[in-house]
Chain A
């Protein structure tokens, strides 16, 4: 249930023109007494001990930094107009994150952008946004008073808000209202000029989740990908929140459409992953290749009518397991294979297709030339 505190926050959330839809939804939730949704994984991770976490600040470009702590990587974009923060890690880290931001710039935080809904990326939303403020004037301030400018806007795709505001499953907790986005966008992207630079927030449908955004700083030539790309694990396909391997691979190819290398497949567009080290296009290529090859293998095995156990026995991830695989934690190699298997079965029911004789290549067969 919403508290009075939450109602107070409702008053300050929609400060920008495109944020009106957010207000409508929040009010609707209040009126109906609807409970807020929970990101269960986030709650579990909020229990971690963050005392020993150090924030590693990695300079990417003159005005773009990557902060690595616990949870998803944070991107900090600075300039004369203020600061944009992409992803905020966990709430207990907010003091450290803010200290790292202040070591970079004293400008006000104007925007928080969520690449998706998971708690390790949005946990600090409330703290970080309240440390900033929004530019507003005219009747917006007239209507809302000081609340109109008292925190930075939190931008995300509409599906993030939809997921966070949905009634929670039985036994799960609500996500705090302060973590919700205050401004959402629908359609392919939201883009605007900030700090003299085109910033593009581009939706990647049904990838890691159904609310993924990648954030491209066009002049700085830096792309923050959220969890559609990491350097530490197999792609986490959160099916319960709208993710799919097909969309994930599409998102990786979309990232490659944006990136341009400089020194023969190195440098150029720098890529800040959802987790892991600073990257560039070549790193995304390796990851895309891995995801595509594994998907194609399982797809072919499904076409041959294999069961899940039979597919697992073929070890379709063996060549990548020492790099990305794990038998423990919330996203094991077995879960990765099983998730792809189920999606391939849904897309290619075994009875619908028989394997072509002699065909063993797993790529699209149109190209026969090489």
Chain B
């Protein structure tokens, strides 16, 4: 009986010893990293098409928000310099620099820093065990992040985010969202897995992965800059006007379906569209009519992903 009990006791003691070891960085992620865009390239580089909600666990509120979305909104001076929140910014065309802030006298890692060339955003991931701020603290684009190591994997929890995008075709992420990230380095490859939780606009967590490759050399200084000076772009628009379409009356309501021949039930998104079983639903659903040719004199660019370039 004693022998039987000895093994668990030893295991507990070993576990206690291991857990008592001070946390330290198991993987060195410092350096300059550049993203690879093989995942979801049409969304990330040319930009998502309007009404493409495929594979996103959105609710009806998010859907209506996006259905009303008019890209003219980001032409408003006060919205021209709008930043992508940390759950979204890593998927953009960004250069990423990572370094550690250390306490000078102990060399303990106080924080891991991420600098994004896009929007010149510096993100701080505290590693010193401090708590997150209270509910009345301000929210930021990057949010408030704390990290810990699980073996060689860095796990980050982020709260206090501003309202942003789940997808930049009008699908919103609320300021109530929070995020858990898992960062793993394999040689010169850095992988980020994101789990985004949004009680306002998502019915299930949104999981995304993004990969970066280590840059062998420092990049020119100007590749790290992103300067935004908002100006009035549309002189005839009334001050205070907020461009938006009436729900259900968007002029490009079915264009994405028709261009790609995808059933409407799929492009509307929702948690069900994330799962493999949904392929059976798609097979049974009616196909949309082909997109009619542009009207004479129309200037619409018809190539996939060409309509929402830029931000």
Chain A positions within 8 Å of B, measured between CB atoms, are: 56, 58, 66, 68, 231, 249-250, 253, 256, 261, 263-267, 270, 276-283, 285-286, 288-289, 292-293, 296-297, 300, 314-316, 318-323, 360-364, 366-370
Contacts and interface: CB of A to CB of B under 8 A. Distances in A.
Given A315-B247, A318-B64, A319-B64, A285 B236 contact: no
Interface in B108-146: 119-121, 134-141
A288 B242 contact: yes
Interface in B8-53: none
A277 B251 CA distance: 37
Given A263-B120, A283-B162, A361-B243, 15 more contacts: A58-B134, A265-B79, A266-B141, A286-B175, A296-B244, A297-B246, A318-B247, A319-B247, A322-B199, A360-B249, A362-B246, A363-B244, A367-B236, A369-B234, A370-B233
Contact of B140 (A266, A293, A321): A266
B139 A264 contact: no
A253 B61 contact: no
Contact of B62 (A261, A285, A319, A369): A319
A293 B83 CA distance: 21
A363 B241 contact: yes
A239 to B, nearest CB: 21
B271 interface: no
Given A280-B138, A297-B246, A323-B200, A370 B241 contact: no
B138 A278 contact: yes
A265 B139 CA distance: 12
Interface stretch (B69-77, B187-195, B208-216, B283-291): B69-77
Lowest 4 CB-CB distances: which A-B pairs, in order?
A367-B237, A370-B72, A360-B249, A319-B65
A264 B81 contact: yes
B169 interface: no
Nearest to A318: B64
Nearest to A290: B242
Task: Give the residue among B237, B238, B244 with the most A Cβ atoms within 10 A.
Answer: B244
A297 B245 CA distance: 9
B150 interface: no
Interface in B194-249: 199-201, 226, 228, 233-234, 236-247, 249
B83 A253 contact: no
16 contacts: A58-B137, A253-B239, A256-B78, A264-B119, A264-B121, A265-B83, A266-B162, A277-B139, A278-B137, A314-B247, A319-B65, A319-B172, A322-B174, A362-B246, A368-B236, A370-B71
Contacts of A321: 61
A367 B72 contact: yes
Interface of B: 59-62, 64-65, 68, 70-73, 75, 78-79, 81-83, 119-121, 134-141, 162-163, 172, 174-176, 199-201, 226, 228, 233-234, 236-247, 249-251
Nearest to A366: B236
Nearest to A360: B249
B197 to A, nearest CB: 14
Nearest to B234: A367
B276 to A, nearest CB: 28
B10 to A, nearest CB: 46
B246 A300 contact: yes
A150 B70 CA distance: 57
Contact of B237 (A286, A293, A297, A364): A364
B65 A264 contact: no
Contacts of A66: 136
Given A58-B137, A265-B81, A296 B242 contact: yes
Nearest to A250: B240
A261 B229 CA distance: 11
Contacts of B238: 364, 366-367
B70 A361 contact: yes
A263 B226 CA distance: 11
Given A266-B162, A315-B247, A289 B242 contact: yes
B119 A364 contact: no
A328 B297 CA distance: 53
A285 B79 contact: yes
B134 A56 contact: yes
A60 to B, nearest CB: 9
Contacts of A360: 245-246, 249-251
A264 B199 CA distance: 27
Nearest to A289: B242
B243 A265 contact: no
A270 B163 CA distance: 17
Given A264-B120, A363-B242, A320 B61 contact: yes
Nearest to B243: A363
Contacts of B201: 322
A364 B233 CA distance: 15
A283 B139 contact: yes
A277 B72 contact: no
Contacts of A250: 240
Contacts of A314: 247
A46 to B, nearest CB: 23
A292 B176 CA distance: 21
Nearest to A296: B244
A361 B176 contact: no
Contacts of B199: 322
